[in-house]
Amino acid sequence: EPEVTQTPSHQVTQMGQEVILRCVPISNHLYFYWYRQILGQKVEFLVSFYNNEISEKSEIFDDQFSVERPDGSNFTLKIRSTKLEDSAMYFCASSGLDNSPLHFGNGTRLTVT
Amino acid sequence: QQQVKQSPQSLIVQKGGIPIINCAYENTAFDYFPWYQQFPGKGPALLIAIRPDVSEKKEGRFTISFNKSAKQFSLHIMDSQPGDSATYFCAASTGANNLFFGTGTRLTVIP
């Protein structure tokens, strides 16, 4: 069964550094998402992306965050200047046609020290 | 504002028991209500989902009950097994995108 893959599985960075989290969505999917989950808390929506542009973003997704689909297979989340409170699991998800279920990757655990 | 409220926070049942997890929502525009199962170190995996035109949906041992007037929905796991031990999240959205998740229920099934 095709799956969403994320790399790295764990990223440790110092406060103020830039990080890029990478995702390879399911190949024929058209809609891409980033969610985050602070340890022990609920999964929170960050951003959705379709047709090479952001379609919706939450209040969490401020100017420090950006997304990009640099080629036909990767989907990245960049945090420009990390803060301690950015420490969380970041999940990428993708879906096919509009209104089809989201498929999540296994996440990248980001630790900001 | 919490779009989706989930309870209980944790649940322990004996093998064969029927755990029930409840969720309530506020936004009447929501029209898609999935349940996700998450094991430690893994991403959420879609378990079962329902749309508000039906009051119940069953897939294998998992059943969603939906009460549109009360804006509530619940997950029932029949004949629960130790392998069902995981965290369960309800969610809601308009369409199937941009999900609003509940706070999760950690289920433990004791052999």
How do residues A62-102 score in pLDDT, each as one tens digit? 999 999 998 878 999 999 999 999 999 999 999 987 668 88
Contact (CB, 8 A) for A74 and A5: no
Distance from CA of A6 to the nearest CA of B (A): 10
pLDDT in tens, B20-72: 999 999 999 999 999 999 998 889 999 999 999 999 999 999 999 999 999 99
| B41 contacts A48? CB cut-off 8 A | no
Q: Is the CB of residue B1 less than 8 Å away from at least one CB of chain A?
A: no
Q: How far apart are CA A8 and CA B21, in angstroms?
A: 33
Q: Which residue of B has its CA nearest to A9?
A: B41
Residue with more model confidence, B1 or B93: B93
* C-beta atoms surrounding A38 within 10 Å: 13
Q: Touching check for B43 and chain A: CB below 8 Å?
A: yes
